[in-house]
Amino acid sequence: MYQGIRISGFGGQGVISAGILLAQAGLLENKNVSWFPAYGAEMRGGTANCSVVIASEEVSSPVVSRPDTVIVMNEPSLAKFEPLIKPGGLLIINSSLVNSRPKRSDIKVAYVPCNKIAEEIGTTKIANMVALGAYAGLTGALSVESIAKALGKVFKRAKPEMLELNVKALKKGAETKI
């Protein structure tokens, strides 16, 4: 099993922390993982993306140039990362902020209103968790339970109420269908 994932959006959307959570969840499932962040010139508000590899075999490179899955949280990320997805791969689009449609017909596409769902749960700060839930539900590469456990390890100082909201967002995202 090998899953190369790219997550992309604006700084402040939790793109980098989403990648860290996937890597930590992979470790909890005794998988080999790598996480490789990339930032634009600015931090908050600039572009941010990360590569995550989750594999049963040894990870030879942290760079994911042909991802199996791409999660795009904003409009510019769709144009930049859609061409990189492997044929037959998965594109998860935050349809709350991305109005364009992908040009490719050789990939699966899931439209997930991440911000809308997060706002209904309680705060748009957890839109990234909705996207991760969709990833877990659609690929089966990691369980929602492992990502939920990773939350407590990655965000040690988080208030229990915030962790609870994150878990709700994960579970809601996992209900996503293509």
- pLDDT tens digits for range 13-58: 999 999 999 999 999 999 999 999 987 655 556 679 999 999 999 9
Taken in order 95, 33, 64, 85, is the CA torsion positive or negative? negative
Fold of 2-173: Pyruvate-ferredoxin Oxidoreductase; domain 3 (3.40.920)
- Grouping H, G, I as helix, E, B as strand and the rest as coil, residue 121 is helix
**pTM for this entry:** 0.95
Instruction: Select from 129, 122, 113 the least CA-distant residue to 19.
Output: 129
Residue 167 and residue 130 in contact, taking contact as beta carbons nearer than 8 Å: no
Mean pLDDT of 128-144: 98
Query: What is the domain partition of the chain in residue ranges?
Result: 2-173
CA distance 66 to 47: 19
Output the six-digit token pair for 119. 């706002």
- pLDDT number for residue 12: 85
Q: Which helix (H) or strand (E) holds 40?
A: none
pLDDT in tens, 2-17: 999 999 999 889 999 9
- 114: its two tokens: 């991440």
Instruction: Name the residue among 73, 25, 20, 27 with its Cα closest to residue 50.
Output: 20
Sign of the dihedral through C-alpha 21, 25, 26, 27: positive
Single out the residue of 68, 38, 62, 65 nearest to residue 50, CA to CA.
38
For 52-95, how does the pLDDT look when each residue is reduced to its tens digit (9 = 90+)?
999 999 998 888 999 999 999 999 999 999 999 999 999 999 99
* Bridge pairing between strands 47-55 and 32-39: antiparallel
